[in-house]
Amino acid sequence: MTKLDISLADALAAWQEQGWLRPLDRSLAMMLLRQGASDFEALMAALVSHQIGRGHTCLSLVELATDPQRTLDIPPAQWEARNAYLMHSSALMKNLLKPTELLCQVLGENDLKQLSTRWLEQARQGQTCAWQPEQKATGLHPLVYDEHTQLLFLRRYWSYEQRINHWLYERMQRSAEQVDAATIKAIVERLIPDVTEHPSWQRIACANAAQQSFSVITGGPGTGKTYTVLRVLATLSELHRVTAPERTLRIALAAPTGKAAARMQESISQSLQETQSDEFNQLQTILPAKASTLHRLLGSQRNSRYFRHHRGMPLPYDVVVIDEASMIDTEMFDALLDALAPSTRLILLGDKDQLAPVEAGSILAALCQGAEHGGYSASHWQRLQAASGEPLPAETQTAGSQTRLDHVVMLRKSMRFSGAIADLAMAVNACDVEAANAVLAAHAAMPSSPVQVVETRQPQNAAVAANWLSPQLLSGYDNFVKACGETPSPEETDTWALRVLSAYGEFQFLTALRAGPYGQKAVNTAVAGHFGQTPDHWYHGRPVMVTANDYSLSLNNGDIGIALNHPESGLLKVVFPGKEPGTVRWVLPSRLAQVETVYAMTVHKSQGSEFAHAVLVLPDRSSPVLTKELIYTGITRAKKQLTLVIPNQQVWRQALQQRIERLGGLFGR
């Protein structure tokens, strides 16, 4: 390969213009160059920052040396643009180098096999990088290199993972206060009676959490995570009355987003109403009135990434329960652990197979890797059987004195999620294309089937994309339109608003992408046009989603409201669910600075929600974000009816075989 005489600054500017680097990535490299770093150091900083933007917490130099293009996820088809740069409006395009070319130019040689060796030599000579385990990272080192794993980190993310690892290992070396297994067994059997199939993983999860200061309960939709965690809390409450009768157990309930927190509160309230006993009546008196977001729990501060609660001012709770833990990123998990007192129990709930968070990291997936096999150490395997009264399968035991999976229980049987939707979800989760297509084929000729497929012609523009929005599909809004059209009396205003919000939650378009002819923006425009409206204007019946936390109004990113003509005041106002179940709150549109129309939302935004009928709209071309986890998450948002919009069968097949693989340093991976 011929060495090209192009400056690193020009090459990175071309990468940014092409959209392969974020402005943040390039800015970091340029800052390091101004501070005297070498081209090599600046380039590696830009690349590891680029990986963080893709959800990884580090960069593997082994993978980078082996296949730079695949590691950085730069689409090969776009290299043709480099050869046609004279037709491009910007002269920067002539500096568009492949990753291999740019790395070789900066290295001064063509052999990338020595990348890790060359990087370690460079790190020892410069001031930009600290290397582990020999040198301690300081504020002078924006980069950290792990010589054993050959992973390169930004120091901030390396620090997050080091603290998380330390916290987890420390908790895994000790359990909570030792309680007689027979006592736990008696409570668990009383709270979860009438078990017909053994082993009961719900009993096992309850017994496990009662013996641990840190525990994880994972499982798919309908496996009873809320049911189980209520029994866990009732067990802990009973034990607390014995060990500390002078005060009540202090419990916090939280989730990563406002929508997930509202769903958590709704599920807990419904489960409590269905259960009547002295233990649950007692539990209801000590549960918080409302689940909060993680940001609100920790005490977020404006214009700052820091929180009011931290190691010096820990949260004042005995037990903290976090739902939808698959949405927690590395930075947020570090902040959560830092805010927990040594005596506070942490319980995580979530589906390990759902989408990873938008930000870098995949905490729940890392914690639960291999959970379907059990993976319990011999001693803990015996303790679980004694405390739960359940016979654990022999294959769930593994060698070793202790494992991270001692703290994880996976619920396996779905109590309410079955039938065609569940079959399709399981096939997708297993990356089994043939099984998934078999489910779709079996229900193709059944008009009343809970799973329907809409196949479309590939459109050339967004306007054509509206063709698949048939009257039959749009009839999913009928109950919502009917509720909006009611004319209640002033005294019935709030009751009517609750009916409108409930009707809206029955039907939802979910998209894989924001842009493109099958993206969120196109679908929102098409549906708004069906109702004779434009997406960005206020009108009676407009559904909106808050897109940024608004602390002055106590609204969170992801909260959904409906614009309605208020019967009493005559003004157009936006109604949101209230802080207490069964209540609403009204806000003038002029006070909502950051909202968007939400006839359609992305699958990422839908996490923590459920809809009676969900329409999952896939794109007509492949995308890095189109993975089996995204499709699985979209499918499992549907409770009764699922409609799949599949413009391109090849894209569907490719997506089912594409997994989220996030690189990180948790547990020494």
Are the C-beta atoms of residues 347 and 321 closer than 8 Å to each other? yes
In which element (H, E) is residue 253 found?
A: strand 251-255
Enter the DSSP assignment of 4: P
Residue 307: phi and psi, rounded to 5, are: -120, 160
Supply the Cα-derived Rg of the chain in whole angstroms. Answer: 27
């599920």: which residue's tokens?
267
Residue 226 annotated as lining a ligand binding site: yes
Enter the DSSP assignment of 20: S
- Paired strand residues for 253: 321
Residue 454, token pair as written in the block: 């809409």
Beta strand segments in 335-439, E: 345-350, 376-377, 397-398, 408-411
Other CB atoms within 10 A of residue 215 CB: 25
Are the C-beta atoms of residues 343 and 176 closer than 8 Å to each other? no
Residue 611, token pair as written in the block: 């809809």
Are the C-beta atoms of residues 215 and 321 closer than 8 Å to each other? no
Residue 225 annotated as lining a ligand binding site: yes
Other CB atoms within 10 A of residue 589 CB: 15
Residue 221 annotated as lining a ligand binding site: yes
Are the C-beta atoms of residues 132 and 146 closer than 8 Å to each other? yes
Are the C-beta atoms of residues 409 and 215 closer than 8 Å to each other? yes
Q: Which of 248, 252, 350, 344 is nearest to 296 (CA)?
A: 252
Residue 224 annotated as lining a ligand binding site: yes
Residue 578, token pair as written in the block: 């209230």
Q: Quick one: 612 exposed, middle or buried, by C-beta within 10 A (0-12, 13-18, 19+)?
A: middle
Are the C-beta atoms of residues 561 and 575 closer than 8 Å to each other? yes
Residue 342 annotated as lining a ligand binding site: no
- Paired strand residues for 217: 349, 409
Residue 516 annotated as lining a ligand binding site: no
Are the C-beta atoms of residues 216 and 201 closer than 8 Å to each other? no
Q: In whole angstroms, how far apart are CA 518 and each of 464, 505, 534, 544?
A: 10, 21, 17, 19
Residue 643 annotated as lining a ligand binding site: no
CA 203, CA 231: separation in Å to the nearest integer? Answer: 9
CA 418, CA 297: separation in Å to the nearest integer? Answer: 35
Are the C-beta atoms of residues 614 and 586 closer than 8 Å to each other? no
Enter the DSSP assignment of 274: T
- Annotated binding-site residues read 219-226
- Annotated binding-site residues for ATP read 219-226
